[in-house]
């Protein structure tokens, strides 16, 4: 990237490589919103004066968001104090990334007087899913590519990318990333980019990528992810906040834990996680009353020293024979 000030309100910008970040903001998903670029600490909204559909097409392609469905005018995705970068017809529409376009002698303004503020809705985004596991939170990693799904090479996948996927799918923490088609081989496309996630991105579409067009991966190398499933823990019906029935949250639903799957070491980790000291006892038999909802079907195998339950090994047991008469506490 080369950036040079031409006057008080004009810049000459040439994009070379991926040193600059692009994202769509204020939309309902990462593939809809106002087009924002970040140059170091500088954030700018793109304001297109000519052929905005060409810019939109390239932005959608750049983000792995399919094709451009529509370009929106003023304030469709809201307004704020972010300045606008007014750009002319610098994209032909066939470029692979926005950095392939040539941005020259453009003006930064506080408003966009032109009819297009580069608000765009794309046809789709790099939506992940987990396939072949015994629950929706474990399985072979697949990413939507247009209207089809592609698998991911295990050499191009790590725990940081898995963390983003687990979070996006509301599946809790990433526990492991087994490779070698652990959940069976997929078919069809193999994703040709390496995900370089920091780990705290809200959607996979926000992770930087590096192209590996000449990769030699086969479906024998399909990547997988195993997530903790649970996104919340609480103690209910006790006389204090540090005692009660153990309840666990899975994908926005609360359930209980079977007392035969729960021991003092598990309770000790939960107490520590809730800033409640150490566990004194772990009574079963619905000691603090019967809960409602599902009964957690897996068994924690905590040593008792883990900082949170998400770091304890878990054994999946399938359907639980437990009723709420056996709720753990």
Mean pLDDT of the chain: 83
Q: Where are the domains of the chain?
A: 2-122, 128-227, 230-326
Fold identical between 2-122 and 128-227?
yes
Give me the CATH topology for the region 2-122. Mac-2 Binding Protein (3.10.250)
| Of 306, 294, 310, 307, nearest in space to 258 by CA | 294
Give per-residue pLDDT as tens, 77-127. Answer: 877 778 877 777 677 888 888 878 776 656 777 777 655 556 888 877 678
CA 84-87-92 angle, 5° bins: 140
pLDDT, residue 304, reads 93
Domain 128-227 has CATH 3.10.250.10: yes
Q: So what's the pLDDT on residue 179? A: 94
Q: What is the pLDDT of residue 3?
A: 41
Distances (CA, A) of 158 to 26, 27, 64, 201, 216: 29, 28, 20, 14, 18
Average pLDDT over residues 204-213: 75
pLDDT at residue 1 in the model = 36
What is the enclosing helix (H) or strand (E) of 163?
Answer: helix 159-168
Cβ-proximal residues to 107 (8 Å cutoff; 6+ apart), any chain: 9, 10, 11, 85, 86
Model confidence, pTM: 0.63
Q: What is the pLDDT of residue 106?
A: 62
CATH architecture of 230-326: Roll (3.10)
More confident position, 112 or 194: 194
What percentage of the chain has pLDDT greater than the value 90? 39
């Amino acid at each position: 990237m080369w950036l040079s000030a031409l006057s008080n309100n004009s810049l000459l910008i040439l994009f070379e490589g991926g040193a600059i970040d692009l994202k769509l903001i204020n939309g309902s998903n990462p593939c809809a919103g106002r087009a924002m670029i970040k140059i170091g600490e500088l954030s700018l909204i793109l304001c297109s004066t000519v052929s905005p559909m060409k810019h939109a097409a390239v932005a959608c392609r750049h983000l792995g968001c399919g094709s451009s469905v529509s370009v929106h005018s003023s304030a469709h995705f809201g307004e704020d104090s972010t300045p606008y970068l007014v750009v002319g017809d610098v994209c032909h529409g066939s470029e692979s990334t926005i950095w392939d376009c040539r941005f020259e002698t453009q003006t930064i303004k506080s408003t966009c007087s032109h009819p297009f503020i580069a608000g765009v809705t794309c046809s789709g985004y790099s939506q992940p899913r987990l396939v072949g596991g015994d629950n929706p939170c474990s399985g072979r990693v697949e990413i939507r590519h247009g209207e089809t799904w592609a698998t991911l090479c295990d050499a191009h996948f790590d725990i940081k990318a898995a963390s983003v996927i687990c979070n996006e799918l509301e599946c809790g923490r990433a526990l492991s990333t087994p490779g070698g088609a652990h959940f069976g081989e997929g078919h069809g496309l193999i994703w040709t980019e390496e995900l370089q996630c920091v780990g705290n991105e809200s959607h996979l579409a926000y992770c930087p990528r590096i192209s590996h067009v000449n990769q030699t991966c086969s479906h024998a190398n399909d990547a997988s992810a195993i997530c903790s499933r649970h996104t919340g823990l609480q103690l209910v019906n006790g006389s204090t906040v540090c005692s009660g029935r153990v309840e666990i949250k899975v994908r926005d639903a609360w359930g209980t834990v079977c007392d035969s799957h729960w021991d003092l070491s598990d309770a000790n980790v939960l107490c520590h996680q809730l800033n409640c000291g150490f566990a004194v006892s772990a009574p079963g038999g619905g000691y603090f009353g019967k809960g409602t909802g599902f009964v957690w079907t897996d068994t924690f195998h905590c040593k008792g020293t883990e900082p949170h339950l998400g770091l304890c090994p878990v054994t999946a047991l399938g359907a639980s024979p437990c009723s709420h008469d056996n709720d753990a506490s």
